[in-house]
Amino acid sequence: MTDMLKTKNVILIMAAALALASCGKNKSEKTKAPTRVKIETTSTAGTYGGEVYVGTVEEREATAVSFTSMGVVRRMLVSEGQMVQRGQLLAELDPTSMDNSVEAAKASTSQAHDMVEQAHSVYNQAKDAYDRMKLLHDNGSLPEIKWIEAETRLKQAETSLRTAESGVRSANAAEKIVRKNLADTRLYAPVSGIIGRKQVGAGETALPSQAIVTILDISSVKVKVSIPEQEMGRITAHTPSHIVVGAADRHVNGGLIEKGVQADAMTHTYDIRIHVPNPDRKLLPGMVANVTLSAGNAKESAITLPVTSVQKKSDGTLFVWTVAADSTAHRTPVSIGHPVGNRVAVTQGLHYDQHVVVEGYQKLSEGTKVIY
């Protein structure tokens, strides 16, 4: 009887311990922090179902910036990839020689002005003598030789004055030029954009018209694609296109298309350039793009997702993790089409404005609470 009582007590103690452990577990589960994920909201991806090409992102416009005179670069104030505004100081030349030239020009200008003052004084004296001699000459009381001398001196004084005034104009022009050259030792951005490449560094000699930096306008960009000659006929300026740039995680619909008219002699391809908006300036020159051009005028809307967000079950069926309104994750079966770059079209299983997990899905299970 005593043994039975002891056994019963042990059972009761174990049950109580299990109940406490269960309560602790439930409490732990209830307080578990939501899993952080990255989502993408489904939307139409534009053109789908056409030919796929590889293209390269180009700037909208490139501006080479250079000094107008030769000199040693004292400072470079920008670096490659830096955003600059119109009027911003980019670089400076050593102004020492220009400073000396300005001082010399100022001295020449001052000397020219002194010569003008002297010429004016001589002219005034000659003119005063001429006026007095004229009165005598008109009265017939001046010998002709004296009158001729007075006229000659006045003409010489007039010539000297004109020469001196011309010298002042030349000196002023020369001083203006050297002052401009001094100002040109400071190089300013003529346009806004991003610094593409620096051609010269501090301490190096810059030559006139040698590009110091190139400023790229990437407020919008162009995607260059080489098209086989037999396919050019079906492409127009308004052919729909869809562009995927994996490096920038961007997929956008292309705009107006510029068609080249000169074929590459080796490949027999023509270049086209597709205009693409780039308001956040994430698309940079040189990035590789996958370009889909629709067949004919067909334009099919499709939902696309990163290829890595589509998972496969053990039975071979495909699914993605979607987030419900209560912030819980759920497996959603899908069917997919052909990949375009690093994205794939979802043909069944999703509708627009759904939240799909594209990063962090490895930590999910059915019903997991998430934040994003």
Q: Where are the alpha helices (DSSP H) in 57-190?
A: 96-138, 144-183
Residue 11 and residue 9: Cα distance in Å, rounded? 5
Rounded mean pLDDT, 236-241: 89
Residue 127 and residue 154: Cα distance in Å, rounded? 6
Mind listing the domains of the chain with CATH numbers? 33-48+300-372 (2.40.420.20), 95-184 (1.10.287)
Render 270-314 in DSSP notation, one character per residue: EEEEEEEE-TT----TT-EEEEEE-STT-----EEEEGGG-EE-T
* pLDDT value of position 14: 56
* pLDDT value of position 234: 86
CA distances from 40 to 321, 337, 347 (A): 11, 19, 17
Nearest to 59 by CA among 254, 281, 260, 218: 218
* pLDDT value of position 341: 59
Question: Which residue did the predictor score with more confidence, 179 or 118?
Answer: 118
Residue 94 and residue 181: Cα distance in Å, rounded? 12
Give the global pTM.
Answer: 0.53
* pLDDT value of position 299: 43
- In the three-class reduction of DSSP (H, G, I as helix; E, B as strand; rest coil), residue 221 is classed as strand
- Asked if residue 93 has pLDDT above 50, the reply is yes
CA angle 243, 38, 303 (to 5 degrees): 40
Rounded mean pLDDT, 146-167: 90
* pLDDT value of position 338: 66
- Asked if residue 332 has pLDDT above 50, the reply is yes
Question: Is 309 within 8 Å of 350 (Cβ atoms)?
Answer: no
* pLDDT value of position 13: 54
Contacts of 102 (CB under 8 A, 6+ apart): 175, 178, 179, 182
Rounded mean pLDDT, 294-305: 60
